[in-house]
Amino acid sequence: MDKLAVLIPAYNESQTIAKVVTDVKAATANIPGTVVYVYDNNSKDNTVELAEQAGAVVRHEYAQGKGAVIRRMFREIDAEAYIMIDADDTYPVEAMPEMFERVTKRGVDMVVGDRLSSTYFEENKRPFHNVGNSSVRMLINTLFKTDIKDILTGYRAFSFRFVKTFPVLSRGFEIETEMSIHATEKKMLVENQVIEYRDRPEGSESKLDTVGDGIRVLKAVANLYRIYHPMAFFGWIAGILAVISLAFFVGRVWLPFAATGLVLNMPTLVVSMIVLLIAILALFAGTLLNAIQANEKRNFELALIRTEERFNDIK
């Protein structure tokens, strides 16, 4: 088992990968048992060669997407603590010792490298990214009642029990959203650590698709809200449909009937009753899924106990 595993996902990062690996090794020189892993995701340039020359352990993930890379990283590597950092040289490696201390000494399960509280908005030259980061942070902190300062940061530290109990469902950049929500919903200890952020060096291109990845992130948030809070999710659907049904029933059926004694809009009556029935079904679906989710929470606590036992066995 490694003392500290530094995880670097990489795709066509030949311009910065050697510097990042070298800087990471220097920053963690006082942490014996540190191993720097670069996971190459089908790079077309010489990222692999440069990473090996800089002293990293290079492995490969051939399924495209950051989520696929992180899935393989988390499955293959056992360590007392993990730090994940992007290969684009935008994050300060000097923060690593403190992140490591938070995990190993304070028992923190996830340390979030918070860019948004420092230099991100000044350094990032893509205004839509700035708006997207702020919007996603507000949305998730509101829906999931948490206080994570930077939802989409790629700079994080993890405990063994987080890594080995985190179900990676996404394949793209929405993986950071998944991590944040999982840690919150499973009552894991999360801390924010303010870091300095610098924009990519000239010539280095972001792999993010502002619109496409933004839509995928929002879809992931909606899906995870449905999974973790089914009663609220389906309750809102049921409430909206019930209001629509009653509005049409009263306005188009009941009031004319009260005035004339005749049902003048039979199709509206039928449709409003169908919509009301769908609302009732949504409410029952939320109730049943809520009971299942409660059972899942109990099973997860048992899984944590088994993970702790495994950690102690291989430590």
For the chain, the domains span 2-227, 230-314
Q: Report pLDDT for 157.
A: 97
Thinking of the domain 2-227, which architecture would CATH place it in? Alpha-Beta Complex (3.90)
User: What mean pLDDT, rounded, does the chain reach?
Assistant: 89
Most confident of 26-35, 212-221, 258-267, 301-310: 26-35
Convert the pLDDT of each residue in 213-240 to its tens digit: 778 888 888 988 999 999 999 999 999 9
Distance CA 114, CA 149 (A): 6
Model-level pTM?
Answer: 0.83
